[in-house]
Amino acid sequence: MPNYKEVYETWRQDPEAFWMAAAEEVDWIRKPTRALDDSEAPFYRWFADGSCNTCWNAVDRHVASGRGEQTAIIHDSPITGCQTKITYKALKSQVARLAGALAARGVVKGDRVIVYMPMVPEALVAMLACARIGAVHCVVFGGFAAHELAVRIDDATPKSILAGSCGLEPGRTLAYKPLLDAAIDQAKHKPDFCIVLQRPQLAAEMIEGRDLDWQEAVAAAEEVDCVPVGAADPLYILYTSGTTGQPKGVVRHNGGHMVALIWSMKYLYDVGPGEVYWAASDVGWVVGHSYICYAPLLMGCTTVVFEGKPVGTPDAGVFWRVIEEHGIKVLFTAPTALRAIKRDDPEGAFIRQYDLSAMQALFLAGERADPDTVLWCQAHLDKPVIDHWWQTETGWSIAANPLGIETLPIKPGSPAVPMPGYRIAILDESGRPLPPGTLGAIAIELPLPPGTLPTLWNAAERFKSSYLAHFPGYYETGDAGMLDRDGYVSIMARTDDVINVAGHRLSTGAIEEVLAAHPDVAECAVIGISDSLKGQAPLGLVCLNKGCGRPEEEIARECVGLVRKEIGPVAAFKLCVAVERLPKTRSGKILRGTMVSIADGKSYKMPATIDDPAILDEIAEKIAGLGQPGP
Ligand code: COA
Ligand code: AMP
């Protein structure tokens, strides 16, 4: 078995042969004759002359090869106290029927379908049903409010929306349907019909002529077969935060996605058919797309849909209970979940109550894995704790420790080494490569490997300007970091206005747009300050209109409410203060970095170009008055 260096070198020497060999793991309808099509670079297409169906590969082929009775999905819902298991055979039938219900109402290849659902198996059924008929799904995270959903409806222009009647958060039931109705009201585009899954916890009111009951629609539907799609046809769109309030619709193609995910299951996670894989995330995020739904099913594993929290449902032992009960081989989650567990169970007492012998490794991603958390997990679990780095845009790991090839030495604070397909460069502002140990912008040489974004939905120019314009010949990741002499990468910060709150990617620009719409707010800035549990927390600084006369605290409270209403609870926007003025350079640029340093209690250099240094004292005083948790 070759080691990591040999595998990476094999790819570097002949990427075409490497990916064609990896593509052998897919059941193609028409085999591709080559891997990369760069005829329209920088819009790269992988396996473009191949045809395939992702649902066939994730579901039907396992039934055909004798895995029909194996559990495909375990729904473990400590929040409702229920557990369900669905075999591949049953999954095939559920998916084929839902696909039939969509097809019967005119949904065809290329049409978009929005999925707005909580963590129930039907969310995966919905995604797979779309894939089956070549429709492009667009899953919207349940923690987003109506306005965010409306923005996505207008951009994706779906023919249909599949929704759950409610989501369940600890101690409260969230009615999804009123949010869906409000979003459709707000949006210019209207879907032809909605299919609503009525959950027993809260039934939704249906709109005659537009809304259909999921169970009834499925019961009346015929099962339909998989439709052939081009390997470079879109499988899904997933919106993610950029620098403005308009989210970026990351497009994922069918063929390259399958090839990359199957490769990653085997060589990165070291998981094979019949094994149980658990990504404790949400279907609304890329981790949920790749590693709750597609990768484990493509590999013929059992995947877990977990409806609960790492703590409080009912306690900090729930992850370990799930691992013991279902024989989980790999757990993948965000560091913030482990920080929450560590806070409630610092001595790891719960860990010792469960038999974790089936577990081979813990994988972390979504935000920086701080060494404290990694070391705590390693000490208490006595398993490899693997940090790996990726983004919605890439769909799978840029850098990782490939356990299926060899376990490389773990360096806490680093997500290890580049995966085949990725050539990482650390660049200075002018695009010159920097030597090892020097902090710079992290860029990836083009072309990006299979499975990564080929473009942005409806926004090819934005794709070029956001990712490719700054460093010609490279994809700009938006992360800053460095490489060490062993080729290990460290991710230190974002270079843009994106912040990471509890592993959730948020745009400070989007929050600023909401604050700026408050009638008493003249100007504002949102920054991400350190938070011991969530990594970062957004803090809003608002300057009020002259002579507004209303109490500052009241306006700050309204701003908090406004962000929750417009963006949703997921923004976790709880800190807002009114300030006299914002610190700016003489050319008018807001000094966000300086304010972050002040809030985090770090030393900072007084910017030479600041227009009025005295403002910083007021900002420091106001932030201190918030009494926020701090770093
Ligand atoms: N639907 C509706 N609301 C949701 C939601 C959903 N799917 N998910 C979260 N929310 C709400 C929460 O209830 C919370 O509301 P509140 O302000 O009324 O308390 C708010 O959004 C913020 O959520 P979150 O930042 O997740 O905080 P939390 O206190 O509920 O939980 C953790 C903190 C650390 C336990 C939690 O963030 C966690 O488990 N994170 C794991 C990270 C993860 O899955 N990342 C995905 C990428 S890998
Ligand atoms: P998302 O697109 O929501 O997955 O967020 C991607 C961003 O999360 C990356 O660009 C990083 O800023 C951050 N991120 C993800 N994984 C890691 C990691 N392992 N270490 C540090 N940051 C990470």
607 CA from centroid of ligand 1 (Å) = 36
What confidence score (pLDDT) does residue 628 get? 55
Query: CATH code for 502-626?
Result: 3.30.300.30
Return the structure tokens found at 395: 């769909």
282 lines ligand 2 (CB under 6 A): no
The C-alpha angle with vertex 361 and arms to 358 and 364, in degrees rounded to 5, equals 140
Q: Collapsing DSSP states into helix, strand and coil, what is residue 145?
A: coil
87-227 in CATH: which number? 3.40.50.980
Distance 392 CA to ligand 2 centre (A): 8
What is the separation of C-alpha 528 from the centre of its chain, rounded to a whole number of angstroms?
A: 19
Give counts: helices (H), strands (E), the chain: 21, 31
The alpha carbon of 1 and the centre of ligand 1 are apart by a number of angstroms equal to 42
308 CA to centre of ligand 1 in angstroms: 10
Question: 448 is written with which tokens?
Answer: 């990006």
The CA angle 229-62-160, to the nearest 5 degrees, is: 45
Mapped onto helix, strand or coil, the DSSP state of residue 4 is helix
Q: What is the pLDDT of residue 379?
A: 96
Q: How far is the CA of 164 from the centre of ligand 1 (A)?
A: 18
Which amino acid residue places its CA nearest to atom 9 of ligand 2?
A: 391
Q: What H or E segment, with its residue span, contains residue 277?
A: strand 276-279
DSSP at 570: G
> Ligand 2, atom 20: nearest CA belongs to which residue?
368
Cα 6 to the center of its chain, rounded Å: 31
Is there a contact between 374 and 387 (Cβ–Cβ < 8 Å)?
yes
Cα(489) to ligand 2 centroid in Å equals 13
Express each pLDDT in 566-602 by its tens digit: 999 999 999 999 999 999 888 888 889 899 999 998 8
Instruction: Scan for tokens 């459709």, then name that residue.
Output: 184
Instruction: Tell me how far apart the alpha carbons of residues 418 and 8 are, in angstroms, rounded to a whole number.
Output: 8
- Indicate which ligand has the atom closest to the C-alpha of 477: 2
Within the chain, which residues score under 70 in pLDDT?
A: 628-631
Q: What is the DSSP letter of 268?
A: I
- The Cα–Cα gap between 57 and 126 comes to 16
Residue 535 token pair: 């990594």
For residue 524, the cross-strand partners are 542
Residues 6+ apart with CB under 8 A from 493: 479, 480, 481
Q: Does ligand 2 have an atom closer than 6 angstroms to the CB of 35?
A: no
Start-end ranges of CATH 3.40.50.980 in the chain? 87-227
Specify the ligand 1 atom closest to the Cα of 167.
1
CA angle (27, 28, 30) in 5-degree steps: 160
Which distant-in-sequence residues (6+ apart) come within 8 Å of 128 by Cβ? Answer: 54, 55, 58, 59, 91, 95, 293, 297
Question: 318 to each of 195, 311, 361, 365, 529, how far by Cα in Å?
Answer: 32, 7, 17, 20, 29
Nearest CA residue ID for atom 11, ligand 2? 367
Write the residue with the smallest CA distance to atom 19 of ligand 2.
389
CA distance 249 to 99: 24
User: Residues spanned by CATH 3.30.300.30 within the chain?
Assistant: 502-626
Pocket of ligand 1, beta carbon within 6 A: 142-143, 167, 169, 174, 281-282, 285, 287, 309-311, 334, 336-337, 340, 366, 501-503, 534, 569-570, 572
Instruction: Please name which ligand lies nearest the alpha carbon of 120.
Output: 1
Specify the DSSP class assigned to residue 486. T
